[in-house]
């Protein structure tokens, strides 16, 4: 198993395991992403706006700001690969980080992120990982980022996974 396939497996696992966890003021299940948040969906612009006089910098005659709308990407969990190290026991230890984000004003948003992190932590520690070619190894580190932009709250979890390493092969005929 490579880190890429582990990320795919973790994404599938978390989608199934968190489908009944409802967070934020809209009570939504978290979206599970790999690497980063996808671009935000934006409304289509009306191509029938009145034509403007041709100048180097045309004046703005239309309202160019988007209305306040809910960001459809929240709540979320992002899975990222950090690094890995091969050891002499024939295993590769890969570090995977998880970023958790929830929307909510004041303590509600904070508590939703904490609940989501603890839910995933309990799932990881309780799971036996039978049928997976890898296993979780301790420690698990969790916490909140120092800077928070209310009403959007974020936390993190850092995990280590033992993956099978490469088998060494002898070269035949010296090359």
Q: What is the pLDDT of residue 20?
A: 95
Residue spans of the chain under pLDDT 50: none
With a threshold of 0.75, does the pTM exceed it? yes
Angle at 68 between CA 65 and CA 70, to 5 degrees: 135
Q: What is the pLDDT of residue 132?
A: 83
pLDDT digits (tens, 9 = 90+) for 64-110: 665 677 888 999 999 999 999 988 887 899 999 999 999 998 899 99
Pairing of strands 91-103, 152-164: antiparallel
Q: For the chain, what are the domain ranges?
A: 3-33+69-164
Q: What is the pLDDT of residue 49?
A: 55
Q: What is the pLDDT of residue 50?
A: 58
Considering only the top CATH level, what class is 3-33+69-164? alpha beta
> DSSP secondary-structure letter at 104?
-
Contact 97, 159 (CB under 8 A): yes
Burial class (CB in 10 A: 0-12, 13-18, 19+), 150: exposed
Contact 77, 11 (CB under 8 A): no
């Amino acid at each position: 198993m490579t880190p890429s396939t582990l990320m795919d497996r973790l994404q599938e696992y978390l989608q199934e395991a968190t489908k009944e966890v409802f967070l934020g003021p809209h009570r939504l299940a978290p979206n599970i992403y790999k690497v980063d948040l996808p671009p935000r969906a934006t409304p289509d612009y009306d191509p029938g706006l009145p034509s403007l006089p041709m100048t180097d910098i045309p004046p703005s005659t239309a309202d160019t700001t988007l209305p306040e709308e809910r960001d459809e990407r929240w709540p979320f969990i992002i899975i990222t690969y950090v690094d890995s190290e091969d050891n002499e026991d024939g295993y590769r230890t890969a570090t995977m980080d998880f970023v958790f984000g929830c929307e909510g004003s004041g303590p509600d948003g904070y508590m939703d992120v904490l609940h989501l992190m603890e839910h995933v932590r309990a799932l990881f520690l309780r799971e036996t990982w039978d049928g997976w070619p890898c296993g979780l190894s301790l420690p698990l580190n969790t916490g909140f980022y120092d800077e928070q932009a209310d009403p959007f709250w974020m936390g993190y979890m850092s995990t280590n996974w033992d993956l099978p390493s490469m088998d060494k092969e002898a070269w035949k005929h010296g090359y």
